[in-house]
């Protein structure tokens, strides 16, 4: 049952509990208790709204930063990860396999803001060996949602 609840909430975090209970054919109070328990267990970690910032007047720059680090004895990557994700600029942080250790995703007001974060904060952390910054030029799909949907003319062509 948890998988069904999580899947439905992942698709629409704003769904009304009453509607979700009907769709899942369970009691609304039971559903509310299950969701509260999953929040307590940190299975459900938050609820987000996907915004296409390109359609607003707000200027935002998103960057993906590859980071190579020297893991700490006895702590591995966890302490470094915590130091990095505690910066307010960091929206996501992933431990990676391959040629680098972390992918850090940040948002800033400008490329200069991103550069200052990398040079002044990220690169100065003990254990950070190198960084490579990639700027996002355009977002097409975020968390499974297409941001730019093509308006297709679905009218049927009628010819005499």
Band of pLDDT at residue 152, cut at 50, 70 and 90: low
Instruction: Answer yes or no: pTM beyond 0.75.
Output: yes
Asked whether the predicted pLDDT for residue 64 surpasses 80, the reply is yes
Burial 5-43 (b: 16+ CB within 10 A, else e): beeebeeeeeeeeeebbeeeeeeeeebeeebeebeeeee
CB-based contacts of 121, cutoff 8 Å, min separation 6: 87, 89
Residue 73 burial (10 A CB sphere; 0-12, 13-18, 19+): exposed
The residue to which tokens 């992918």 are assigned:
103
> How does pLDDT run across 101-151, given as a tens digit for each residue?
999 999 999 999 999 999 999 999 999 999 999 999 999 998 888 888 766
Q: What is residue 36's predicted lDDT score, i.e. its pLDDT?
A: 95
Tens digit of each residue's pLDDT (9 = 90 or more) over 49-60:
888 888 899 889
SS3 letters across 39-83: HHCCCCCCCCCCCCHHHCCCCCEEEEEEEEECCECCCECHHHHHH
Half-sphere exposure of 88 (CA within 13 A, CB side): 2
pLDDT at 157 over 80: no
Note the pLDDT tens digit of each residue in 14-33. 899 999 999 999 999 999 99
């Amino acid at each position: 049952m948890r998988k069904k609840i999580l899947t439905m909430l992942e698709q629409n975090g704003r769904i009304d509990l009453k509607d979700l209970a009907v769709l899942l054919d369970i009691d609304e109070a039971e559903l509310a208790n299950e969701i509260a328990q999953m929040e307590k267990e940190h299975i459900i970690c938050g609820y987000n709204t996907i915004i296409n910032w390109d359609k607003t007047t707000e200027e935002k720059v998103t960057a993906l930063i590859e980071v190579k680090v020297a893991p700490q004895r006895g702590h591995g990557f966890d302490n470094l990860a915590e130091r990095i994700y505690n910066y307010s600029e960091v929206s996501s942080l992933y431990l990676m396999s391959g040629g680098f250790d972390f992918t850090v995703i940040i948002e800033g007001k400008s490329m200069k803001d991103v550069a200052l974060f990398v040079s002044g904060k990220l690169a100065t952390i003990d254990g950070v060996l190198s960084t490579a910054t990639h700027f996002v030029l355009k977002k097409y799909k975020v968390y499974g949602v297409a941001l730019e949907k093509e308006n297709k003319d679905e009218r049927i062509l009628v010819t005499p």
